[in-house]
Structures are given as C-alpha cells and as structure tokens.
Structure 1
Amino acid sequence: MANILTPEDEKIKESINNLQKELPYYIRLYVLYKESNETSFKTIQQYLYRYKIFFNWLIVPQEEGKPETAIIQVPDIKEITLEHLENLKLSEVNLFIASLKEENINKESKNKKRTYKLVKNRNIKSIAVMISALKSLFVFLSKKSEDEETGETFISRNVMDKVDIPIKRETSQNRAEKISSVIIPGNEMEGFIQFIETEYIKTLELKQSITTFNRDYRRDIALISLLLSTGIRVGEAASLLIRGINFKRQTITINRKGNKEDTIPVIDSAMDHLREYLKIRDEKYKNAAECEFVFVSLYKGEARPLSRRSMENIVKKYTEAYFDGSGISPHKLRHSFAVDFVKNGGDITVLRDLLGHTDTTITSLYLNMANDDKIQMLRKMEENRFRALEEEQEENM
C-alpha cells in the first residue's frame, strides 16, 4: 500500500526544506540519507531544529562584545565547514551541553522583576534528544558519507563518540506507577464509550456545540474505540486510509514509525464503530468521498483529514468530561490498551508486535503495570506472619 502523506506531513516536509536552506550544504545530504532509511519526517524536522540551535551557539561569542571568543568565527551558520566540525573539541561540546542545561527557556522570564519565579530549564529528556540528534549527524559525516572525489568520509574524527546520552534514573516499577495513574482501566473502557454516546451531550449548553457533537460523535467514538482496542499511535490513526480497512478479515493496515507498513487485528466492537461512522461519513462531511483518509473534519465547509492535534483535543475533551476535569492524551489510551491486554493474559511478545515495538524492552514495562500479584502476595505474607504469631501465642498459653 503506497504511503500517502497527510496534510500535516506535507507541512513538516515543507518545514524541512526551509530549514535546509538555513543550514550548511552537507545537512541536505544528511537529510537525503535519513529519508532513504525511511526516518520519519517529524524526526528529521526535530533534528534540524536542534542543529540550528547548535550551529548558532557555535558562532555566538562566549564573552559579550568579543567576537574572537566564538567557538567558530564565521558570520553565518551556513559557513560552518566540515573541517570546523572535525576539529571540535570535547570541552567545547560539553560547554554547549552545559549551556543547554542552564538556559532559561521560559519566554515570560523577560520580566526582570519576576525572573526568579519563572526560570524554566530543559529537562533531561530534551538534553538527551539534542545529543542523540548530534550523534546521528556525526555518525553520518564520519561513517556513512562519501566524498565523490576521494571516496573518503566527510570527516575522520567524531567528537560526539565521546559524549554519553544522559539517562533519567528511574526504576521500571516507578515509571509504571506514574503511567498507571492516568489510564482507563479495562472494566471502564466500554463505559467510557457509552458515556460519549449517551451522556456527553448532557454536558453541553451551547446550541452550536450540540450541533457539532451530533455531527461528529460517531467519528469520535470510532476513533477512540480504535485507539483503545489496538493501541495504535495517534499519528498512525491520522494516516489510516479507507483502503487500509479490511472488514472481512477484521484488520487495519497502518504505517508505523519509519514508514513500515503493518497489518493488525481489530476487535468486533471497534470494527462496528468504524462501520457506523463510515455509513454517515460522506453525508456529514462534504466531499469526504474524495478524501482517502478515514478520519476527516470540516474545514471551510469541505472535508479534510483530521489532524493529530485535533485527535488529541478530541480525546482530551471527552476524558475531561468523563473523569471530572482530568483529561488524558491519546498515548495514554495506548497504555490503557497494553495494560488491559496483559491483564487478560496476553503474551508480551504478541503485545510487542501489536504496539509496533522492535523488542520487548519497552513492552515489558506493562508487566509491572498489570501485575497486581505483588500487592496481593505482600498482603498474604503479612497475614501468614500474624497467623503464625497467633498460633505461637496460643501454644504458649
């Protein structure tokens, strides 16, 4: 099945093209390499943003008013050469990482009187992504590139080899506890769907909101039911095509991360909700028949693919109403599916395939979230200890 870009992906691709124009020429070659390896457009875009931050930092004077203190003394980042990167020192890279950690990224902190209250630093995950992005670039330049004249790689020295990616120290159990506090338990999933269908409208007051709900609720139920019954990512749902649904085999074909095509099974109820939505899709959304994407919205009176952001807002809207103000993200629906799958005896390797993971390292996290036996066993141990104590006391009486 040919991969068709969503409007969002088209915008991201346009952003990539614009960013390349601001960066040195070899970045274009890096992008071609990543695209040939089917790296997602979103990842490439995020990496280019980070290269722009890094390159701009390299040409900014480290001491105010002293241009000669810049790491690389050129007037524009497009003039940063391969030789410049090859000669970067580890101390300079570490200085950049330190600056990231110390920088106040809160835009509101410009108010000097309140700066002390508004300081916001990058978290460890953000720092890790920056280092990963730079490592990816330097691996390409030092190992995967080739000069057409000499046949050699673009650079021979990779300073990023000496830099470690920071890891947030946290046990899998602790991480599992955090996630499990914001998921929908399996025994509430059907109740949540029924709430949207029969109760949510009662929370609305404006006539326009009620009209919009009556138009969209079958679509919204089909989307949420699909997320809860398959664990697919919101981006995978956004790019789902009409021809990717096979009602006879009860499967959907989606594009995973890295544009990998995958076909996964869907339970009866979710397929029924999809079927009900598709029955009214062309009637409720003008010219929807001309759109190949399953989930659509109305934009200026015409059907267009439902964006990832809109899907996130839909899930948040209904979960806020259902949980009395505590909205959750579509990714938490993915967690909800995974935990329910394990609790019902699902195999961890099967779950890995259903979620589109490459190994069970991440998937095994759900074992901790689904395993209630730990608490039960500890309670049983406590009961046995008290029972043993009571028996001992009775014998001594």
Structure 2
Amino acid sequence: MNQQEAERKMNLEIQSFPWFIQNYFRKKAGDQYSSITLYEYAKEYRRFLQWLIQDSYSTATEIDQITLTDFNQLWPEDLEYYKGFLLKSPKTLPETTKERFEESHRELPLRQNATVQRAITALRSLFNYLADAIDRKTGKPYLKYNMMRKVANVKDNKTMAERGAAIEKKLFLDEEAIDFLEFIDTKYVDTLASRQAKAAFYKNKTRDLAIIALFLGTGMRLSELVNMNVADLDLEHSEARVFRKGGKWDMVVISSIAHSYLVDYVSQRAKLYQPTELEQALFLTRYRGKAKRIAGGAIEAMVGKYSESFKIRVSPHKLRHSVATQLYTKTNSLVQVAEQLGQSGTSATTIYTHIAGKKKREAMNDLWT
C-alpha cells in the first residue's frame, strides 16, 4: 500500500470517528506523519471505540456518538482490562452467529504480544494528544488526566535469541543475496512451464530485478520503495531519497550490489511502461493500458514468488532484515545499522546481535579445540 492509498483509506475510516479523534488525525497529518502509520492507528482506534460500547464504557450506540466525557471517565484499570481483552481474544472475532458456532469447536489463534503492544502504542499517542490539546471553548485540555500513562507496555513473550533464530532461517546473507539475484536473472525462467508465464516474466524482469536489488542494497521499507519517484534516485552518488516512517525525508546509501540493476531499469523504464511526463513514480506497472505506480501488494507477491522458487518464501521486510544483519556483521555497529534503516534509536536493531550466523557457530564449534 502506498501513501496515497493509505491516506484515502484513512480518510474513509475516520469519517465515523468522534470529532476529537478526527482532530487528532488532522494534527498528525499536519505533522507529516506517515499515512500508512495513521491508517493502522485508525484501525486500532475503531476496535477500541467498538469495545467501549460493547463493554458499556459508553452509552453511545454508534462510535461517532462517543464523547470526551466517556474518555475522561476511564481509569487505568479499565485500560488494562482492554489490554487483557486484546491479549486473550482471537485475532479475528467471528461476526455472525453461524461463524461463532463453527468456531466454538476449535481454538482460534491469539494475538502476539508484539501486536498488542502496537495497539497500546497507538492508544498512547491518542491519549497524549487529548491530554495536550486545548479546547477552544473551555481553554482546558480535552482530557483532565492522561490515564494511558499508567498502563504498562506488553512484554514480548519471545526471547531475543528465539526471535533471532526464527528470523535467521529467512535471511539471504553473504553470497546468498548475490545468488538470489543471479537466480532470477538466469535460472528462474526454467521453472516456468507455459509460454505465457515466460513472456510475463521477461516483460517485467528488468524492473523486478531492480526492485529486489534496491531492497538488498539499502534495507529500505516496502512503503519507502513504493513511494519513490525517479528524482529520488541518485545513481551518480549511490543514494536514494526516501520518506521515512514518522514523516521525515532521509538519504540512504545504496550498495554496489544494486547499481547495475538500477542502471538497466532506469534506462529502459520509459520503453517498458510508456509513462506520461506527469507520471514520476520510479517503479511502474501497466494497468488498463496506462503506466501507474506499482502497488505494495504486487511487490510483496513478486518477492514471495521469486524467493519461494529460490529457497524459502520471504517478504520485503525479511530482505530488510537481511541487509541489517549483514551490515551489523560487517561493522559491529548498531548505530550504523539504525542509520541505514532509518531507525530513531538502536533499541529496534538489537535483534541483530542475537542472530547466530556462521561466525558464532564456528566459534562454538572451535570452543574446546
């Protein structure tokens, strides 16, 4: 999903929200928050508002009728109870009587602790705004007290070592990243049976190689790659301008692994997709006879298709993990990894110190020799 599509969905989502939550989204949009992040927050807020009604914390019958008084009457215990509801309820609740009956005979998967923590983070952002924003009529903050400050974070129920081991199985490290690109370039076509499938592959091969090479050459997020324009790519200095999560522009270094693939694509972009002069998107697709920006879902499917044929099905995010792990192995610097990935601190990158890798295993094998 690109920023424009996320903004459209977010605006549709918040139309039925109470006015003070709509004000929150106007404020964050003005602060240049990522539309993708705000859309994810909107989904979390809808779930919370529906819960307020279902558990009688509000007398409203529709979520747009929920008031600031309802929010001001919430206590930390109430919000902790909501956290418990998220932890103990299935990922997707059955909506109809028939579905509830069918699902009652088997156990549904629960949300991961990390997923619940994202919901808590979203709510904390909303409550912080409501506690700071001033009501024009009263001259006082929307919320008298910010009760979310009393709500503890959800601890991850997996150790760093366990998470690292799970991630490591889906990484392309050392020569494997180069082998992956060479596989797509020279061998993938041999896995296709029909003439039509081969023709479709050759049609987008140059673009697909450039996309995967850019992932492996930068570690950028899917949304950052999708939203890139032609002007954002500086091949002369091996840099790319990206719009980071949190609404900030950044320059990211491009590894030499990606350079030749990007040069090939840029030189053929116009011939392959015939974009108009107004279409500035870097990566394109043809839809109904017109060139348009390729969607994130299409890129996810494309990466999954190639990687599954090569080794194991992975997402663009796993390619990002691959870059981060490789960079940490080369530099032993979490700061450098955080800067390359566009992280505000090193806390999110400590996972890479727990990915065993060949060097750690070799050290243990030689421990007593």
Q: What is the TM-score normalised by the length of structure 2?
A: 0.92
Report deviation, 1:381.
3.3
Structure 2 Cα separation of the partners of residues 282 and 18 of structure 1:
34
* Greater RCO structure (CA 8 Å; 6+ sep): 2
Residue correspondence of structure 1 range 345-360 to structure 2 within 5 A: 345=331, 347-360=333-346
Relative distance call for 1:194 and 1:289 in structure 2 (3 A) is: farther
| 1:297 aligned onto 2:291 | no
Q: Tell me, yes or no, if the aligned pair for 1:254 and 1:261 is still in contact at 8 Å.
A: yes
* Structure 1: unaligned runs, 5 residues or longer: 1-6, 63-69, 384-397
The 1:290–1:213 alpha-carbon spacing in structure 2 relative to 1, beyond 3 Å, is farther
Distance 2:368 2:223 in 1: 47
**Residue 234 (structure 2) aligns with:** 246
Shift of 1:207: 2.0
After TM superposition, list the pairs within 5 Å mapping 1:356-367 onto structure 2: 356-367=342-353
Is 1:110 paired with 2:99? Answer: yes
Which residue number in structure 1 is paired with residue 23 of structure 2?
A: 29
Deviation at 1:134, TM superposition (A): 1.7
Q: How do residues 277-316 of structure 1 correspond to structure 2 at under 5 angstroms?
A: 277-287=265-275, 289-316=277-304
Aligned to 1:66: none
Deviations 1:182-217 (A, max 9, x none): 101211121111111111111112222111111100
Q: Which moved more, 1:89-98 or 1:191-200?
A: 89-98
* Matched residue type, 2:274: K
Which of 163, 167, 192 is matched with 2:151 structurally? 163
321 and 289 in structure 1: CA distance in 2 versus 1, 3 angstrom threshold: farther
2:5 and 2:331 map into 1 onto residues whose CA distance is: 42
Compute the displacement of 1:373 (Å).
Answer: 4.6
Q: Is 1:47 aligned to 2:41, yes or no?
A: yes
Letter in 2 for 1:243: A
Q: Deviations over 1:292-333 (max 9, x none)?
A: 11111111121111111111111111001111xx21111111
**Whole-angstrom CA distance in 1 between matches of 2:359 and 2:256:** 30
* Equivalent residue for 1:271, pick from 259, 262, 274: 259
Go from structure 1 to structure 2 and tell me whether the alpha carbon gap of 1:118 and 1:286 turns closer, same or farther (over 3 Å shift). farther
What runs of 5+ residues in structure 2 fail to find an aligned partner?
none
CA distance in 2, matches of 1:316, 1:59: 40
Match of 1:341, SS state, is: helix
Residue 235 of structure 1, CA deviation:
1.1
Structure 1 residue corresponding to 2:82, chosen from 96, 112, 126: 96
Answer yes or no: is 1:337 the counterpart of 2:323.
yes
Pairing 1:327–2:321 present: no
Residue pair 1:253, 1:264 contacting (<8 A) in 2 also = yes
Q: 1:288 touches 1:304 (CA, 8 Å); kept in 2?
A: no
* Displacement after TM superposition at 1:118 (Å): 4.8
Identity score, percent: 25
Match of 1:82 among 65, 68, 71: 68
Report the residue type matching 2:318 in the other structure.
K
Aligned pairs for 1:122-133 (under 5 A) are 122-133=111-122
Instruction: Assess, with a 3 A threshold, how the Cα gap between structure 1 residues 107 and 82 changes in structure 2: closer, same or farther.
Output: closer
Q: What amino acid does structure 2 have at the position aligned with 1:53?
A: R
**d(CA) in 2 for partners of 1:366 and 1:102?**
30
Cα gap change, 1:352 to 1:120, in 2 (>3 Å): closer
Alignment equivalent of 1:119, drawn from 108, 112, 125: 108
Asked whether the 8 Å contact 1:193–1:225 carries over to 2, the reply is: yes
C-alpha distance 320-32 of structure 1, shift in aligned 2 (>3 A)? same
The residue aligned with 2:139 is 151
Larger Rg: 1
Q: CA RMSD in A?
A: 2.2
Aligned-partner SS, 2:134: coil
Cα distance, 1:71 vs. partner?
2.3
Distance 1:114 1:215, change over 3 A: same
